[in-house]
Amino acid sequence: MGMELELGGRVAVVTGASKGIGLAVVRTLAAEGMHVVAASRTSSPDFPADVLHVPVDLMEPGAPAEVIARAVSAFGGLDVLVNNAGGPPPGATLPRLGFLTPDDDDWRAMFEFNLFAAVRAVRAAIPAMLERGGGSIVNVSSTAARQAAAMNIDYSAAKAALNYVGKSVSEEYGPQGIRVNTVSPGATLTDWWTKPGGAAEVLSGVTGAGADAVVKQVAPEMMRLSTGRLVHPQEIADVVALLASPRSGSTTGADYAVDGGYLKEL
């Protein structure tokens, strides 16, 4: 008998759900027997059949509350929120090198997508979770929030702010049964890396190595990954599922790095 996560019949909202880490989280929580509401601009043929997809653009201020409301009306409440949507906002490409590169509009879009969308989702989720006597919020951040670099500064700053929000909300609502934790992926093998014009191609242009070699060797070496490879989305989804579970009842305000050993400090 494996470890029973006690998630069956509970209700989860997952944002940025159609691919990569979000899709892995949706499939994992659905496999645990949860009612899953998947929020993303487009649906995915890889969604399990019983997943409820809510098509929204999370850059719209009203979208997060709309998703939470759909979850409550469809399944009677909310137990778990996974704020996974993030990365480059629509139309932007990362990595973006240098502090002077992003302008005000770039900064605004980055914070809108990576911070404000999550803040709005948490704001909408808290009353629904309090009605159930508690819940679990998992914010998907990034190791970039904790490791400064001369690239992606607007993205990393937004994620650092998200880390603070998670810790602060966990402090306020922990006594009322709402746990808030952060998962910080390192470089993860998603289309962020592999799509045309993605990180692998950008770094290929900088390093002269082929995009495939960037993913398999150059990037892991550049980032000094202890495991020697990028993270798989499923490895992040598994940690999210554990944090969502009542089995993690005393874990709140924590930040789990799933990064192949990228972060070296104590």
Question: Which residues share a beta bridge with 83?
Answer: 139
Is the residue at 27 inside a domain? yes
Q: Are 82 and 213 within one domain?
A: no
Q: Are 68 and 157 within one domain?
A: yes
155 catalytic? Reply is yes
Is the residue at 263 inside a domain? no
One pLDDT digit (tens) per residue for the chain, 266 residues: 678 999 999 999 999 999 999 999 999 999 999 999 999 999 999 999 999 999 999 999 999 999 999 999 999 999 999 999 999 998 898 889 999 999 999 999 999 999 999 999 999 999 999 999 999 999 999 999 999 999 999 999 999 999 999 999 999 999 999 999 999 999 999 988 888 888 899 889 989 999 999 999 999 999 999 999 999 999 999 999 999 999 999 999 999 999 999 999 98
Q: Are 106 and 194 within one domain?
A: no
Please tell me which residue in 155, 173, 256, 262 is annotated as part of the active site.
155
**Residue 163 sits in which domain range?**
11-188+231-258
Helices 117-131 and 63-75: crossing angle in degrees, nearest 10, is: 30
Q: Are 25 and 141 within one domain?
A: yes
The b/e string for 198-214 (b: 16+ C-beta within 10 A; e otherwise) is bbbbbbbeeeebebeeb
As a residue count, the chain comes to 266
Of 70, 69, 84, nearest in space to 118 by CA: 84
Q: Which two tokens stand for residue 131?
A: 């009605």
Q: Are 239 and 216 within one domain?
A: no
* Residue 48 contacts residue 30 (beta carbons within 8 Å): yes
55 vs 53: CA distance, rounded Å: 6
Q: Are 221 and 178 within one domain?
A: no
Is the residue at 1 inside a domain? no
Read off the CATH number of the domain in which 250 is found.
3.40.50.720
Is the residue at 67 inside a domain? yes
Number of domains in the chain: 2
Q: Are 223 and 94 within one domain?
A: no
Q: Are 115 and 196 within one domain?
A: no
Question: How far out from the chain centre does Cα 204 lie?
Answer: 26
Q: Are 114 and 182 within one domain?
A: yes
Of 190, 132, 78, 225, nearest in space to 198 by CA: 190
* Residue 35 contacts residue 54 (beta carbons within 8 Å): no
Q: Are 147 and 196 within one domain?
A: no
Is the residue at 4 inside a domain? no
Q: Are 103 and 217 within one domain?
A: no
